Amino acid sequence: MNSSRSFLFHYSPLLSMIPDTSQSATTSYVGNEVTRNFRNFGQPVYVNVYHLHWPNGLKMGAYHTGTVVYDREFGFGGHPFSSSGIFQTTPMDIDSLGEEISFKERLYMGRTYLSKKAVERLLTSLADEFRGDSYHLLHFNCNHFTAQFVDLLCHGCFA
């Protein structure tokens, strides 16, 4: 399995696919045949991976991930309140993520065919599950959010 996709959990919700109308497929006419090129249809989905540089003696790597779609990066973080812990930033905006963090890599995950509005509705539907007070460093963190969000965005259709 490709390492960029190996962290994904298998989650198959019943989610209707809402086409992205911001881009259209191109049509080619060859003789009497009509072919459609869907290669650029939809929006690319990326996962940005960041290395956390926490001063500890564990000598372990710790990583933060965020999902990039429609030129926005979405992540999940903890706080003591029962409101959503999902946040959005400009992609690769290190300053908004904290001092002890550096960009490691960007992974292409596939394309989403959800409209921008449908992505916003999807995030709203995830808000109750990913509350700030439910965050746990090992058992329910940004990587769990990224895995579930990417799976819902790409709907198992990796390009």
Which residues are CB-contacts of 34 (< 8 A; sequence separation ≥ 6)?
27, 28
Task: Determine the distance from the C-alpha atom of residue 144 to the mean position of all C-alpha atoms in its chain, rounded to a whole number.
Answer: 11
Identify whether 105 is part of a domain. Answer: yes
**Distance of alpha carbon 55 from alpha carbon 159, whole angstroms:** 39
Q: Which pLDDT does position 38 carry in this prediction?
A: 52
The CATH number given to whatever domain includes residue 81 is 3.90.1720.30
Identify whether 27 is part of a domain. Answer: no
Identify whether 71 is part of a domain. Answer: yes
Per-residue pLDDT of 23-41, as tens digits, reads 444 444 444 444 444 556 7
Q: Which pLDDT does position 58 carry in this prediction?
A: 63
Q: Which pLDDT does position 41 carry in this prediction?
A: 78
Residue type, 16: S
Ranking 9-23, 36-50, 69-83, 125-139 by mean pLDDT, the lowest is 9-23
Identify whether 145 is part of a domain. Answer: yes
Ranking 27-31, 44-48, 103-107, 150-154 by mean pLDDT, the lowest is 27-31
Per-residue pLDDT of 83-139, as tens digits, reads 999 999 999 988 888 778 899 999 999 999 999 999 999 999 999 999 999 999 889
**Distance of alpha carbon 144 from alpha carbon 130, whole angstroms:** 9
DSSP-assigned states of every residue in 79-146: -SSSSB-EEEESTT-HHHH-SSEEEEEEEEEEEE-S-HHHHHHHHHHHTTTSBGGG-BTTTBSHHHHH
**Mean pLDDT value of segment 70-78:** 96
**Distance of alpha carbon 94 from alpha carbon 102, whole angstroms:** 7
Q: Which pLDDT does position 156 carry in this prediction?
A: 59
Residue 119 lies in domain: 43-154
Q: Which pLDDT does position 34 carry in this prediction?
A: 44
Closest CA to 125 of 10, 16, 6: 16
Residue 122 φ then ψ, to 5°: -60, -45
**Count of the separate structural domains present in the chain:** 1
Identify whether 22 is part of a domain. Answer: no
Residue 144 a catalytic site member: no
The active-site residue out of 10, 51, 53, 64 is: 64
Closest CA to 63 of 134, 153, 146: 146
Tell me: pLDDT of 146 over 60.
yes
Q: Which pLDDT does position 59 carry in this prediction?
A: 63
Identify whether 135 is part of a domain. Answer: yes
What is the rounded average pLDDT for all residues in the chain?
78
The active-site residue out of 51, 142, 144, 155 is: 142
Residue 142 a catalytic site member: yes
